[in-house]
Amino acid sequence: MAFESLDPYRAEILKLRTPGPDQRSFSQIANYLYDQFRLRTTPGTLSRYMKHLNASGGLRETTQPENAGIDTLILFAELLVEIKGRGDEQRAAIEAQASELRLLAETIAELQKTQVASKGTIPPELVRGIWLRAFALSGALVLATAGLVLALSL
């Protein structure tokens, strides 16, 4: 495309299109060119001219508050990834503890059947050991569940 009519006003157009508080839209630039130089053009022509110059504004520099917001978002995303990873680890630990707890319950049920069948008594130390282990595992399961809930709520 030929932009011969716009080339003499290149510096003026680039100045008006420079990012900042005084940056003007293509419509405003077209009106300005007509008011100042009696040059008729359209916003579309100005847009193509800027692309032709490879100076369409591109990406602007971010401000300090925007940089802080971007940094916060990056940290938040990393935190979410870490929480998800820990959640998966905790879920696996809970499942392992739950299976151990099921085995303990089955062992206790078997011992109770044996006790009823033999009409004998189980040594109190054995019963105490089984119950202490079951209590410890159930406590660990509760703590792991609480940790998972806390981690997922963040």
The model's pLDDT over 75-93, given as tens digits with 9 standing for 90+, comes to 877 777 777 777 777 777 7
Name the pLDDT band for 27 (thresholds 50, 70, 90).
very high
Tokens of 71: 């940094």
As a residue count, the chain comes to 154
Which band of pLDDT confidence, cut at 50, 70 and 90, is reported for residue 1? low
Count other Cβ atoms within 10 Å, centred on residue 130. Answer: 16
Would you state the pLDDT for residue 56?
A: 45
Asked if residue 58 has pLDDT above 70, the reply is no
CA atoms of 110 and 42, how far apart (whole Å) = 89
pLDDT in tens, 108-134: 777 777 665 555 667 778 888 888 888
Mean pLDDT for the chain overall: 80
Q: According to the model, what pLDDT value does residue 75 have?
A: 81
Distance between CA atoms of residues 7 and 49, nearest Å: 9
The answer on pLDDT for 42 being more than 80 is: yes
Query: Which segment, 37-41, 87-91, 124-128, 140-144, is predicted with the most confidence on average?
Result: 37-41
Nearest CA-CA partner of 16 in 39, 40, 37, 32: 32
